[in-house]
Structure 1
Amino acid sequence: MPELREERQEVGTCVELFAGGGGLAMAVHAAGFRPLLVNELAPRACQSLKNNPPDPKAPEKRWPLVSGDVSKIDFSEHITEEVDVLAGGPPCQPFSLGGVHKGTEDKRNMFPEMFRAIREMRPKAVICENVRGLLRPSFKPYFKYILNELTLPFVERDEDATWEDHNELLEKLIANESVDLAERYVVKEMEVNAADYGVPQIRNRVIIVAFRADLDVAWEKFMPAKTHSEESLIYSMREGGPYWKRHKVTADVRKRVIANLPELDYENEKVKEKLKLEPWRTLRDAIAGIDENEGKPLPYVSEEAVKYKVEVDGIRDHVGWPGARMYTGHTPNVLDRPAKTVKAGVHGVPGGESVMQLDDVNFVNFGGGDGYRYMTVRETARVMTFPDRWILDGPRGEKMRQLGNAVPVKLGAAFAEAVANALKSVGALEDPEKRK
């Protein structure tokens, strides 16, 4: 897994806002950016960041954590160096399908704080992740405003102006190109599915990347391409395919999966192109171990472990949990597909995203139905491509919340490394030794 490679070369500096459990922060750090400040509000997530050093080879070094409300932070007090990358995922609940859909009226909308941080730090690049719900018709005008304000963050909004009024001003300034390049950003947004980048999970998101216009970065040359495809997964699952050489399952399980595979049109040019990519990773892949966990399968969770909430084989957070249920609209993950989107589940997880169907249809799930169980926190962390060394703080529900709010490490790494390469291409990243 390149984003967690052993030899890490420092290339620049970063600031991470809304860090949550640390997925994007870990990815940006692994791409070579030294954190100058990491901010998070939730106490349990802050403790998770305290529990985990950025570099396991240097456990004495910790994240430069500034906890609390981001709106109360005076960045000039903490930042004494030039900031190369500002990264963060402003809270997505205002725009999420799982939230209450208040959008711009929701006090949790933190995009204005992201804009303030840009004005105060003038980063060379910005990486922002959020839910695809921003593209829903009801929120799309505000999403366009987000892109416009990110383009011209130094044009501050009057206190009495509505966002619609300010957006009208921004669009006029963008159209006539009257703002100096040093105070403009070139902004690009991408709809992504994390599964297309090697994450064993269907997770549809919007990634926004911005570069200061005076740097003249050709982002199109560096945008991370998709590396995995559903078509390759289907092809690998055919009878005798490599998927079954990796996973030793019973003939009945294999036949059931193969019988439900969709047909591929091998003459279709798009299908041919997608077959050149790696197969999507599945939940079974994640449990067996991928990337840095290759060859480290998580041990089987027994009925007894589920009944008594037992930690299996001393593996942290690999704990059975009883009571999983399945009903209309609440269906489990299947092992031989990428997992469903991991959700924070503030009011419970309504779609069955934390439940998994098992090969053993007779498995007793105490307090629920048979043949399925809750995923362990460690299994969920693997689906989010967190390394097994990552220690999450709090009870089970809080750990799952942190994971659901996180950016999958592997997805974040694809974009962080691409941004690093783009900045290097224009000489925007100085020798770190010259900064000191």
Structure 2
Amino acid sequence: MKSIELFAGAGGLGIGLCRAGFKPTKVVEWNRYCRETIAENRASKASPMAGWPQVEGDVRHVDFRDLEGKVDLVSGGPPCQPFSLGGKHRAYDDTRDMFPQAIRAVRETRPRAFVFENVKGLTRATFRNYFEYIRLQLEHPEVTIKTDRDGRPTEDWTEHLARLQKHATQSKYPGLHYHVVAQVLNAADYGVPQKRERVIFVGFRSDVDANWSFPVATHSADALLWAQYRSEDYWDAHEVAKRARPDLSAAPARALALKEKPIELAWRTVRDAIADLPDPEFEPEAAAEIAYHRFQPGARSYPGHTGSPLDEPAKTLKAGVHGVPGGENMLARPDGSVRYFSVRESARLQTFPDSFIFHGAWGEVMRQLGNAVPVRLAEVIGKDVARKLRYAA
């Protein structure tokens, strides 16, 4: 099945969707470092990006009309800075809001489905009306904002929202229409070794009988607690000595309250993701043999920035408005010491393949990874969407 990937970034969403069976016909990204990362990977026959048709430049200048009716899926992560809990909360008047361009791509190509991702902050109460505005635009992409002859808006977003609401409450929907569902998903619930919550929009064109819902979680925190404090299978699997295991007398109350083994798989932890890698701080020679696995000095712990514990899923990797923050991108060892995750470790936490090539200095690559969609989460959603599209074909 054919797709278009917008705001591709480092390619996490696109790689996952490729694994799910979608082949991109156009991949759009404007950031120079991300473009170079994609370019280096697409040149490799062994890469999941091999042969990606890359479009370099501003999505606002890309015409999608030549692909009308020729793609099955439009996907992407419109830049999230306006809505990030760590951002500036400008939202309504932020020119970095690229959802209008995502909606335009849907309008011009009329795909059978779309998948868009954004930060959880978009669902907070402050943005409730704007969240509804985005959802209604995705449902009715041909009901566009009014403009003058020069393309300048002649109504604000609240007036446009009112027209969309009136359109949506008609007995019949003229024109292009999508059935849209949106949900906040925690990537850890799907086997990603990171607690990363994101809102996902999935839409199916009204003539596609999808009967679709978000995939059921396959992993859980309770299952991890059971494996660590009840069966101790987790420690056995990692060959952790009895004396080095946590004191069971200090087990969380939630673990002690479990009556039987959960049916889900255990959340994957930082240890699960990186246990086979040498520590780049204490084993620099061995680490030097592994691409992108170098020690980065300068990490320190302070209130609110304590790093990701080794035996839990990592905290959400961050890109940061002013660079890489100190807490979220650090490993917190059991002895209380901390260090920054290497690029390779961060890529593992985002479930990128070890063969993936990154372009740029450590801070820039960490920014790419902090903005990425975990490959595994994208693949899980993509496979379920692809299954429905094949069934409805």
Q: Aligned equivalents of 1:263 and 1:155: distance in 2? A: 49
Deviates more, 1:412-421 or 1:251-260: 251-260
8 Å Cα contact 2:12-2:373 kept in structure 1 = yes
Once the two structures are overlaid, the 10-residue window that deviates more, 322-331 or 241-250, is 241-250
The answer to whether the Cα contact below 8 Å between 1:125 and 1:211 also exists between their aligned partners in 2 is yes
Residue 267 of structure 2: aligned partner: 280
State TM-score, norm by structure 2: 0.93
Report the Cα offset of residue 248 of structure 1: 2.1
**Distance in 2, Cα, partners of 1:60 & 1:121:** 22
Q: Pick from 298, 302, 308 the counterpart of residue 281 of structure 2.
A: 302
State whether structure 2 residue 219 is matched by structure 1 residue 232: no
> CA deviation digits over 1:194-241, x for unaligned, max 9?
100110000111000000001122113xx3110000000000002652
Cα pair 1:94 1:103 within 8 Å, conserved: yes
Shift of 1:255: 2.5
Q: Which amino acid aligns with 2:76?
A: G
Q: Find 1:148's aligned residue among 108, 116, 136.
A: 136
* 5+ long unaligned stretches in structure 2: 148-153
How far apart, in 1, do the equivalents of 2:78 and 2:131 lie?
Answer: 13
**Residues 70-89 of structure 1: matches in 2 within 5 Å?**
70-76=59-65, 79=67, 82-89=70-77
Distance 1:314 1:351, change over 3 A: closer
Separation in 2, partners of 1:18, 1:60: 15
Matched residue SS, 1:143: helix
Contact 1:311 1:319 in 2 (8 A): no
Asked if 1 retains the 8 angstrom alpha-carbon contact of 2:2 and 2:25, the reply is yes
Which residue does the alignment assign to 1:401?
367
Correspondence for 1:128 among 116, 140, 161: 116
SS of aligned partner of 1:215: coil
Distance 2:385 2:13 in 1: 13
2:197 paired with 1:204: yes
**Are 1:179 and 2:154 an aligned pair?**
no
1:215 maps to what in 2?
Answer: 208
Contact 1:50 1:62 in 2 (8 A): no
Question: After superposition, where does 1:333-412 map in structure 2 within 5 Å?
Answer: 333-350=308-325, 352-360=327-335, 371-412=337-378
- Give the 3 Å change call, closer, same or farther, for CA 378–67 of structure 1 in structure 2: same
Q: 1:163: Cα distance to partner?
A: 1.1
What SS does the aligned partner of 1:139 have?
helix
Q: Measured at CA, do residues 378 and 177 of structure 1 come closer, stay the same or move farther in structure 2, by a change above 3 Å?
A: farther
- The Cα shift of 1:253 comes to 3.0
Asked if the contact 2:300/2:326 (under 8 Å) is kept, the reply is no
1:346 & 1:403 partners in 2: Cα distance?
14
Q: CA shift at 1:61, angstroms? A: 4.0
How do residues 241-252 of structure 1 correspond to structure 2 at under 5 angstroms? 241-252=232-243
CA-CA distance at 1:56 after TM superposition: 4.8
Is contact 1:93-1:108 (8 Å) kept? yes
2:151 aligns with: none
The aligned amino acid for 1:158 is K
CA RMSD of aligned residues (A): 2.1
Compared with structure 1, are the counterparts of its residues 257 and 51 closer, same or farther at alpha carbon in structure 2 (3 Å cutoff)?
farther
Partner of 1:319: 294
Displacement of 1:18 = 0.3
Match of 1:32 among 21, 33, 40: 21
- Judge conservation of contact 2:4–2:24 (CA < 8 Å) in 1: yes
Deviation of 1:67 after TM superposition, in Å, equals 1.1
Q: 2:32 aligns with which of 19, 43, 50?
A: 43
Secondary structure at 1:211 match in 2:
strand
Matched with 1:66 is 55
**1:80 Cα deviation from its structure 2 partner:** 7.5
State the distance in 2 between where 1:148 and 1:405 align.
25
TM-score under structure 1 length normalisation: 0.84
1:92-118 deviation line (CA, Å, top 9, x unaligned): 010001111111211110000011111
**Aligned position for 1:168:** 162
User: 1:246 and 1:376, CA in 2 relative to 1: closer, same or farther beyond 3 A?
Assistant: same
Which letter does structure 1 place at the counterpart of 2:54?
L
Partner of 1:381, secondary structure, is: helix
Deviation at 1:259, TM superposition (A): 2.9
The CA deviation string for residues 349-408 of structure 1, in whole angstroms up to 9 with x for no partner, is 4460111112455xxxxxxxxx22111111011000001011110000010000011000
Q: Which amino acid aligns with 1:82?
A: K
CA separation in 2, counterparts of 1:257 and 1:200?
A: 23
SS at match of 2:34: helix
User: 2:227–2:234: 8 Å Cα contact kept in structure 1?
Assistant: yes
1:253 equivalent to 2:228? Answer no
Report the alpha carbon displacement of residue 73 of structure 1 after superposing the two structures with TM. 0.7
Cα distance in 1 between the residues matched to 2:316 and 2:95: 25
What's the CA shift for 1:298? Answer: 1.3
> Hey, what does 2:150 align to over in structure 1?
none
8 Å CA contact 1:94–1:102 kept in 2: the answer is yes
CA shift for structure 1 position 251: 3.3
Letter in 1 for 2:98: M
Report SS of the residue matched to 1:238: helix
Task: String of CA shifts for 1:280-310, please: whole Å, max 9, x gaps.
Answer: 000000103xxxxxxxx212323373xxxx7
Tell me if structure 2 keeps the 8 A contact 1:29–1:54. Answer: no
Q: Would the alpha carbon gap of residues 54 and 231 (structure 1) be closer, same or farther in structure 2, given more than 3 Å must change? A: farther
Aligned partner letter, 2:89: H
Per-residue deviation, 1:177: 3.5
Distance 2:334 2:315 in 1: 18
Runs of 4+ in 1 over 6 A off after TM superposition: none
Contact 1:329–1:351 under 8 Å retained in 2: no
Among residues 97, 101, 114, which one is paired with 1:109 in the alignment? 97
Deviates more, 1:51-60 or 1:335-344: 51-60
